[in-house]
Structure 1
Amino acid sequence: MVGPGGDVRPRELRRAARLRRGPARCDRPRLRSRRTAQGRRTPARRRGGAWPSRAPRRRPQQLYEGIDLGAEGAEGLITYMRTDSVRVAAEAQEAARQWISARVGGEYLPDAPPAYRSRGSAQEAHEAIRPSEVRHEPKSVGRFLTKDQLALYRLIWERFLASQMMPAVYDTVSAEIEAGRCLFRAQGATLKFKGFTAVYEESREDEAPSEEDAEGAVPQLQEGEVLRLSGLEPKQHFTQPPPRFTEASLIKVLEELGIGRPSTYASILGTIINERGYVRRDRKALVPSELGMAVTDKLKPYFPEIMDVEFTAQMEDHLDKIEEGERTWVETVREFYVPFQKDLTRAKKEMGSEKAGEPTGETCPECGEELLRRRGRFGMFLACSGYPGCKYTRNVDGTERAGDEPTGEACPTCGKPMVVKFGRFGKFIACSGYPECKTTKPVTLGIACPEPGCTGQLAARRSKRGRVFYGCSAYPACRFVVWQRPVPEPCPKCGATFTTERAARGRVIRRCAREACDFEREVETTVA
C-alpha cells in the first residue's frame, strides 16, 4: 500500500457524455412533500413547502379557482389539479417554446415538443397540472400570492417549462488509479450544457449528499502520469433499512400500485389516521397503532384477497372498464361477492373475539377471578374476568393503569361527581355516572378566555382533521380560538393576559395573542 506522499498512476481513463433529462410536468402526487427510498426530498419540499396531504389539496385549489391579480382581475393560475395525467395541449407547448426561445435561447429547444407517457391507470380527461398562462411568471404575480402559494406556483411553472427543454449535458470522467497493489476509482462530472437546468434546478439543501451528488470535477489526467498521493480516507457504508412512510411517500406508493386517485388520496389518509386510528403520526413519520396491527392480524388469515394490495388496484381497473363499457357491474360484483361470502362465513366460525379476552392463568388481586388479556385503544392490558362487578385493570408490564381522578365538581346534568379520565387524546373531565350520563368537558389550561363577558377558560381541542387547537370551554356560546399553545405569561408590551408559544426550527418563539401587538421574544431552551 502506498502511503501519503507516495506516487500513484492513472491506469485507465474513460470519458463520456451523460444526459440528464428534464422532469415530466407536474401531476398531482408530485406536488407533495415526500422522501424516496433513497432518502431524497422531492420537489414540493425542495421548493419551499413541507405540507401534509390536506395542504396540497387547498393550495392548488386556490391557484386553480383564481387569484386577484390587481388590474387584470381574478384569474386562475393553473389548470385542473386533481389529475395524474401528463398530457399537455399543443397550444400550451407552443406558448412554452416561444417563451424559452425568447428568454433563454433557441438552442434550449428540442426539434419537437417532448412527449411523455402517463401510467396505465391514469385518467386522461384533463391535462397535466401546468400554468394556465406561461406569461404569468412567478416574479410578476408573486406580490399577489402568499408564501406557500408562490412556492407551489413557482414549482409548477418552472417544472412545466423545464419539461419542454433540452436535456442537460455533462462530461463524465472515470479513472482507475494504481497505488501499489491497490486499485482506486475516481468519478466526476462537469456541466457542459445547462439545458433545462437553466430554468429549473431541484434544490438539495439540508440533505445528505448521495453518491451522484458527490461527483465533482476530476482534474485533467493522462494515462501513466505520476500523481502525488495526498491522503487516503477509509470509509465503510452500511445498508440502511427503509424509512417509515410519510404521508407523501405513502401516496407515491399508492400511485405506483394503482390504488386510489388524486382526488381520493387525502381522504384515504384521513380515514386511517384520523377516523379509524389505524396509524398515528410521529412527527412526519406514519407509525401503525396497536389497533391497526390488531385489525391487520385479524383480517389477513381470513380475508387474504381483500388484504392484498393488488385487490384494490384490480378493483379500480374493473371500475374503469365498467365506465368504458368493457365490463358489466353485475359480473364484477359476482366475482367479488361469491368468494367473499365464503371467507366471511369461515371468519364468523373460526375468528376469535377480541372482547372475550385471552386467559392468563393469573388471579385478580381484588376478587380472585381470572385475569384476561384484552386489547384497548392504547394497546394490550390485563382486566378482571368478573367485569363489570370487578373493574380491576393493570398494564401488561405490571404497572397500574391510570385511574379516574376526582375533581371536586358535581355533574351539571345528574349531580354525580365529575372525574378526570384518560382518553385517546389525553385527559378530559367526565361524569362518574357513565354510561348512564355522558356529560364531558375538556381539561382547561387555567387561562381565562379573553373575550369580553366570557367566563370560560382555554382548553386544548382537536379539529376533525386531527390538528390541535385551543378554544374556549364555554363553546358553543363562545367561539374564541387560537392555534398556537397559550402560555400564562402576560404580554409586557400591551398587557394581554397571555402569550402564545410556537416551536420552529429548534427555536421556541412567544408572541402576544393580540394581532395588533407585535411583541415577540425567543425563549431559552434548557438541555437536560
Structure 2
Amino acid sequence: MADALVIVESPSKAKTIGKYLGSKFIVKASMGHVRDLPKSQIGVEVENDFNPKYITIRGKGSVLKELKDARKKVKKVYLAADPDREGEAIAWHLAHALELDDTADCRVVFNEITKQAVKDAFKTPRKINMDLVNAQQARRILDRLVGYKISPLLWKKVKKGLSAGRVQSVAVKIILDRENEIDEFEPEEYWSITAKLSADGNPFEAKFHKLNGTKTELGSEAEVQAILKQIEGADFTIKEVKEKERTRNPSAPFTTSSLQQEAARKLNFRASKTMSVAQQLYEGVDLGKEGTVGLITYMRTDSTRIAASAQEEAKEYITGKYGEAFAPESPRNYSKKASNAQDAHEAVRPTSVLRDPDSIKSFMSRDQFRLYKLIWERFVASQMSSAILDTLSVDIAAGDTIFRAAGSKVRFQGFMKVYVEGNDDGTTEEDRLLPPLKSGDVLDQQGIEPKQHFTQPPPRYTEARLVKTLEELGIGRPSTYAPTLETIQKRGYVAIEEKKFMPTELGELVIEQMEEFFPEILNVEFTANMEGDLDHVEEGSEDWVKVLAEFYESFEKRLEFAEEEMKEIEIEDEVSDEICEKCGKPLVYKLGRFGKFLACSGFPECRNTKPIIKDIGVTCPKCKEGHVVERRSKKGRIFYGCDKYPECDFVSWDKPSAKPCPSCGSLMIEKRNKKGTRLQCTSCDHQEPVEETEDESTD
C-alpha cells in the first residue's frame, strides 16, 4: 500500500514526479482547477464581503471521484501544484474538495522538476499560503466583477457577445492609442549626405555632421545644395581620430516577459506558444537512459535571481568550455528591473547547464529544442565575462564642414561568443571596420551621395513590443500576458496584420464607451496600482476584501450612471460587391481574430463565408495564367497561392516578387531576417536587398 497521494496539475508532470518518488507514492493529476466561479452567474456575494460561490467545474466530477478514491488508500495527501498564486489556489480548492485539513503541512513546491529538487521539496512540506490564495481570489473576483457587470451593458447597448476585462481593455487602448499616433503623424523631410572615401585604396563612408563647427540637421534640398556647393573641389582631410574602449555587459537571464519577447524576435513564437512549450520543458522531457527530466526552472517569474549552485555550475562549464577569461571573477547577480517585481522564484534557466542543447536535441521536438537552446544560451551568457569593443570616431574636414565616420571592432567576445540579445528593430551589432587612419591624412574622394528621407511614425505593436510595454507600465503579471493577448484577438477587438496589432472598428467602439463611462478601468496608473495592491495582498500586508471594497465603491456608481446614460449603438455590416454563390444574397464584411472576411448577409439561415482575396500583382509562375493572391491558413498565417486553385496548386509561404531573377529568369521570393528584406531566387544563388521603411522591419 502506498504511503501518500501526490496531486499535481498535469499528467506529464505526474509521470515525471512519479518516477522520482517511486512506488510508495500515488501521483495523480487534477487537470488544473477543479472548482471555479459559475459561468452562468456572477457568483460573488458583493454584500457579504465579496464571498465567492465556488462550484465544481463541469467535466471535473470524474477527476474528483478518482482523487477521492485514491485519498482513501493513503494516510497522507500532498498538494504539489505549480509554485505561484494560481498553483496555491488550485491546492486550496483541492483541499476543500477532498475535505483535507488546509492548515496541515500538505503543500509541496519546487522551482524545478529534477529528482533532487523534488525529493528535497518533500522533506519540507508547508501549510497552504492563504496570502497567495487570497491574492488569486482577489484578482479572480475583481476580473469577474468588471467582466460580468460591464459586459451585459455592452451586449445591450452595442453588440451581443462583447466583453470587457480589466487588463484586456487597457491592452486594447494601448494598441488604439498607437494607431491614433500613426494616423496623426505628419512626416518631416530630412536629408543626409554621404561621402564615399578611401585611404590607400581602402573604401569607407562618412556622413555630414557639422557646418562651421555646429552640428547641423539638413531639412531641405536647398540646404543640401548649399553644402554640396561648399565642399565642391575641397580636400577631405582627417581632422581628429578618437579611439575608445567600450565594455558591453550580458543581458540578465530570462523572466517570463523577456522570454516571450525574445522568443517572438528570434523564433517567431506567439506568447501563448512560448508558454506552452516552456511548460513542456518545465514538466519534463524523456531523455532516454537518464529518464524524464524537467529541463528548465519554473517559467512564470519576474525575478532575475539565480541560485548560487547554478552559478557555480555555470562557471565550471564556461571555464572548461571557453577558458578562464570568459568567466568573471565573481558570479553575476542582476537587480530587479522594477520595484514591483516579485522574487519568489529564480529566473528562467536550465536545470543543469551541463545538458547543452545539442547533446539532447534528439529527445526534443523542433519547438522544444529551439526554445530550450534560447533559454540555455541566455543563461550561460548571463554568467560570462563582458565583451570588449574598440570604437573609432573620425572627424573629416572638407571646407567649413565636418564629416564623421564611425567604426567598431570586437576585441574580446566575452558573452557574445554564446549569445547576443535581439531588439525590436531587428538589427544586430556587428563589426564596422575602418581602415588605418591618422590626423592630417588627405583622403581620396570616390563620390558624394545626397539622399532624401522622411521621418517615420511609431511602429505598430508586435506581441514582443506589447508585452514589453505592459511590463514597463506595471499592467498584468507574468501569467497574464499570453492569455490577455489571446483574448483581445478572440473578441475581435484587434486584428494582426504582418505580425502587428491593429485595432478593429469594434475595438475602437468598445474603448470609446469604456473611456466615457469607465475611465478608471482604462487608466494605466489605476490598473498598475491595482496590481500593486494585489501584490500587497500576496505579501500579507493588505486585506483582500478591503482592496475589493475600495474598488467597488466607485465602480458601482459608474455602473449606475452607465445604465442610464449609455446610448444604444447600431453596428451595420459593410456590404460588399460580391454575391453569395449559395443563396444569392449580398456578402458583407465581417471581422474575425485574423482580420476581415466575407460572410453571407442571410446568416444564420446561410452560413457561407469566404476569405478576402488580395491580388499581389504577380502572375502565377506555375500555370502562367492565374494570379498569385494572398490567403490565410486556418491558424491565421499568411501564405500565397494561385487564384486558379484547385486547377493550379502553386503555393508559397514566402511572398513572390513580380521581378524575375536577373541571373536565370526564375521566380524570386521575399525573405526576411534581422538585416532586413531581400529578394532570393528560387532556382539559383542570386539574391539582392529590398529597401524598406522602419515600420516594415521585423522583430
Whole-angstrom CA distance in 2 between matches of 1:486 and 1:235: 40
Pair 1:230–1:401, CA change in 2 (3 A)? closer
The 3-state SS of whatever aligns with 2:512 is helix
Q: 1:62-101 maps to which residues of 2 (within 5 A)?
A: 62-101=280-319
The alignment yields a C-alpha RMSD, in angstroms, of 3.6
1:19 aligns with 2:247: yes
Q: 1:307-386 maps to which residues of 2 (within 5 A)?
A: 307-354=522-569, 374-376=570-572, 378=573
Preserved contact between residue 285 and residue 292 of structure 2 (Cα < 8 Å)? yes
1:161 aligns with 2:380: yes
What's the CA shift for 1:404? 8.2
Q: Which has the higher contact order (CA 8 A, sep 6+)?
A: 2
1:58 aligns with 2:58: no
1:467 aligns with 2:635: yes
Preserved contact between residue 462 and residue 499 of structure 2 (Cα < 8 Å)? yes
Match of 2:365 in 1: 146
Pair 1:62–1:420, CA change in 2 (3 A)? farther
Whole-angstrom CA distance in 2 between matches of 1:81 and 1:486: 44
Please list the CA deviations of residues 42-66 of structure 1 after superposition, one character each: whole Å capped at 9, or x if unmatched.
x32554x212222112211121122
Pair 1:311–1:191, CA change in 2 (3 A)? same
Preserved contact between residue 190 and residue 217 of structure 1 (Cα < 8 Å)? yes
| TM-score of the two chains, using structure 1 as the length reference | 0.67
Preserved contact between residue 420 and residue 427 of structure 1 (Cα < 8 Å)? no
Match of 1:229 in 2: 445
Task: Letter of the 2:389 partner, please give it.
Answer: Y
Preserved contact between residue 9 and residue 227 of structure 1 (Cα < 8 Å)? yes
Task: Letter of the 2:653 partner, please give it.
Answer: A
Pair 1:255–1:339, CA change in 2 (3 A)? same
What's the CA shift for 1:243? 1.0
Match of 1:506 among 624, 634, 655: 655
Preserved contact between residue 176 and residue 183 of structure 1 (Cα < 8 Å)? yes
Pair 1:191–1:2, CA change in 2 (3 A)? same
Preserved contact between residue 9 and residue 224 of structure 1 (Cα < 8 Å)? yes
1:281 aligns with 2:496: yes
Q: How many residues align?
A: 402
Preserved contact between residue 79 and residue 129 of structure 1 (Cα < 8 Å)? yes
The 3-state SS of whatever aligns with 2:571 is strand
Aligned residues with identical type, % of pairs: 41
Task: Letter of the 2:304 partner, please give it.
Answer: V
Preserved contact between residue 486 and residue 501 of structure 1 (Cα < 8 Å)? no
Pair 1:321–1:2, CA change in 2 (3 A)? same
Please list the CA deviations of residues 99-125 of structure 1 after superposition, one character each: whole Å capped at 9, or x if unmatched.
011111111111111111122222222
Q: 1:254-293 maps to which residues of 2 (within 5 A)?
A: 254-274=470-490, 276-293=491-508
| TM-score of the two chains, using structure 2 as the length reference | 0.52
Q: 1:377-416 maps to which residues of 2 (within 5 A)?
A: 378=573, 405=580, 407=582
Whole-angstrom CA distance in 1 between matches of 2:558 and 2:378: 48
The 3-state SS of whatever aligns with 2:319 is helix
Pair 1:258–1:405, CA change in 2 (3 A)? same
Whole-angstrom CA distance in 1 between matches of 2:313 and 2:503: 47
Whole-angstrom CA distance in 2 between matches of 1:166 and 1:259: 34
1:188 aligns with 2:397: no
Please list the CA deviations of residues 123-149 of structure 1 after superposition, one character each: whole Å capped at 9, or x if unmatched.
222211111111111111112222222
The 3-state SS of whatever aligns with 1:230 is strand
Match of 1:242 among 434, 439, 458: 458
Whole-angstrom CA distance in 2 between matches of 1:402 and 1:442: 16
Higher helix fraction (1 or 2): 2
Preserved contact between residue 246 and residue 388 of structure 2 (Cα < 8 Å)? yes
What's the CA shift for 1:264? 1.5
Structure 1 residues not aligned, in runs of 5+: 34-42, 355-373, 379-394, 409-417, 446-461, 470-483, 491-498, 510-521, 523-528
Match of 1:8 in 2: 236
What's the CA shift for 1:166? 1.1
Whole-angstrom CA distance in 1 between matches of 2:535 and 2:405: 51
Preserved contact between residue 406 and residue 420 of structure 1 (Cα < 8 Å)? no
Please list the CA deviations of residues 401-422 of structure 1 after superposition, one character each: whole Å capped at 9, or x if unmatched.
67985847xxxxxxxxx97875
Preserved contact between residue 26 and residue 156 of structure 1 (Cα < 8 Å)? yes
